[in-house]
């Protein structure tokens, strides 16, 4: 592995940092307090090319690779994990299309997504399950040469703004199939939001599918093999969550360093206390370990490798790291760490969700253990 970044990767990282500091950071508290999906920032990420970074130019992307993707998302997530998550979630359907789409599907669906002209969500979770594909109850009935999709999906992030949805349903063989749906199709109904403690403004919502007619050319991959599509595409989602964790944790460290040098106890900045120094050092070392784990996973994906195991390891480690580092950051801030007027408590709330969404930590451990024991 080459530990040096290429000129293109450095440029992407710089551009993302500028965007994060100028456009995202000043809005982060407002997005969190109001809980409104930041449509303009999603559009700006599209114009800047962040929504298609790893994908080939012929399919609307920048062709800058997955390391660039990780570098950009780390910067953006440090300013607002919600905005980083918008970029990450939109990439999951893109990855599914790249790996399983026909040439026509890549040109018709991946191109406008990677170009930033359209946004896509992923609809897997239902009221009864977010982890078990066998428990999915949404159906795709074959009738008159079309699929008719009926069911309900819960916790669909990006839903109010998405033009397309990567949706998983049971076909008439009772196996999972993957579909690309146009969200303006009759019967595709955006319902109530799912208010969450963190990642506010992500547009996480319930969707009803009331006999949505989907043409066969919108089936992604082979009929009945939707689980393969899910496992591959969600691997990139896990890498995304790992990187979000690194960005949020780094932001917590930077805030804590500033605070510790300014806030005084017994007449001296608390940064001079060995206990505070211990916490800061602990935070920094954990972030560094998570960062390189995430970069290595991105590097492997760049080499065309299957990252199912590595992305589970990176997500498990980085999400736990982010929760612990943001918790330590709150400790450095004392009572001010609990106040809504300072950003550190938002980082903690956002970090906690990284242990849950795109697969709970227990699922990641189950995946890793299965690889270890096979």
Footprint on this chain of ligand FAD (rule: CB under 6 A): 89, 121-125, 129-131, 155-157, 196, 199, 202, 204, 353, 356-360, 362-363, 366
305 phi-psi bin (left φ>0, alpha ψ -120 to 50, beta other) = beta
Q: How far is the CB of 117 from ligand FAD (least distance, A)?
A: 20
Q: What's the CA gap between 369 and 16, in Å, rounded?
A: 36
- When the beta carbons of 86 and 276 are compared against ligand FAD, the nearer one is 86
- Residue with Cβ nearer ligand FAD (196 or 326): 196
* Start-to-end CA span in the chain (Å): 26
Q: Which is nearer to ligand FAD, 45 or 122 (CB)?
A: 122
Residue 66 gets the label, from left (phi > 0), alpha (psi -120 to 50) or beta, of: alpha
Q: Which is nearer to ligand FAD, 295 or 317 (CB)?
A: 317
Question: CB of 175: closest distance to ligand FAD in angstroms?
Answer: 18
Residue (of 50, 3, 10) closest to 292 by Cα position? 3
Kindly compute the dihedral angle of the four CA atoms of residues 354, 316, 301, 297, in this order, to the nearest 10 degrees. Answer: 110
Q: Minimum CB separation from ligand FAD for residue 122, in Å?
A: 5
- Give the shortest CB-273-to-ligand FAD separation in angstroms: 36
- Compute, in degrees rounded to 10, the torsion defined by CA atoms 149, 123, 372, 315: 180
Measured from each CB, the residue nearest to ligand FAD is 130
CB of 360 to ligand FAD, least distance (A): 4
Nearer to ligand FAD, 291 or 352 (CB): 352
Rounded-to-integer distance, Cα 328 and Cα 41, Å: 30
Element (H, E) at 235: helix 226-262
| Minimum gap (Å) between residue 280 Cβ and ligand FAD | 29
Choice between 122 and 243, CB closer to ligand FAD: 122
∠ CA 314-319-325, nearest 5°, is 120
């Amino acid at each position: 592995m080459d530990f040096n970044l290429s000129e293109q990767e450095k440029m992407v990282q710089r551009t993302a940092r500028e965007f994060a500091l100028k456009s995202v950071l000043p809005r982060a508290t407002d997005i969190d307090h109001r809980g409104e999906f930041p449509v303009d920032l999603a559009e700006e990420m599209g114009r800047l090319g962040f929504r298609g970074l790893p994908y080939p130019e012929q399919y609307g992307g920048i062709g800058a690779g997955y390391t660039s993707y990780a570098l950009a998302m780390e910067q953006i997530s440090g300013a607002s994990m919600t905005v980083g998550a918008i970029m990450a979630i939109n990439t999951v359907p893109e990855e599914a299309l790249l790996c399983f789409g026909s040439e026509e599907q890549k040109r018709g669906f991946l191109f406008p997504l990677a170009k930033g002209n359209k946004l896509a969500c992923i609809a897997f979770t239902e009221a009864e399950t977010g982890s078990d594909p066998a428990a999915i109850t949404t159906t795709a009935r074959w009738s008159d040469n079309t699929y008719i999709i009926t069911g309900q999906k819960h916790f669909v992030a990006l839903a109010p703004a998405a033009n397309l949805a990567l949706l998983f349903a049971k076909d008439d063989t009772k196996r999972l199939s993957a579909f690309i749906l146009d969200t303006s199709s009759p019967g595709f109904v955006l319902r109530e939001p799912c208010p969450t403690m963190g990642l506010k403004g992500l547009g996480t919502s319930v969707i009803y599918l009331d006999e949505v007619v989907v043409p066969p050319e919108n089936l992604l991959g082979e009929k009945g093999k939707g689980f393969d599509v899910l496992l591959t595409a969600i691997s990139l989602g896990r890498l995304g969550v790992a990187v979000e964790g690194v960005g949020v944790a780094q932001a917590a460290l930077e805030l804590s360093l500033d605070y510790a040098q300014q806030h005084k106890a017994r007449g001296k900045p608390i940064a001079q206390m060995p206990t505070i120094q211990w916490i800061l050092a602990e935070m920094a070392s954990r972030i560094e370990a998570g960062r390189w784990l995430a970069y290595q996973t991105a590097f492997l994906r760049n080499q065309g490798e299957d990252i199912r195991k590595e992305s589970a390891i990176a997500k498990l480690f980085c999400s736990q790291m982010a929760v612990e580092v943001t918790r330590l950051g709150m400790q450095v801030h004392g009572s001010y760490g609990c106040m809504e007027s300072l950003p550190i408590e938002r980082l903690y709330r956002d970090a906690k969700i990284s242990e849950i969404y795109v697969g709970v930590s227990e699922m990641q451990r189950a995946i890793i253990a299965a690889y270890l024991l096979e």
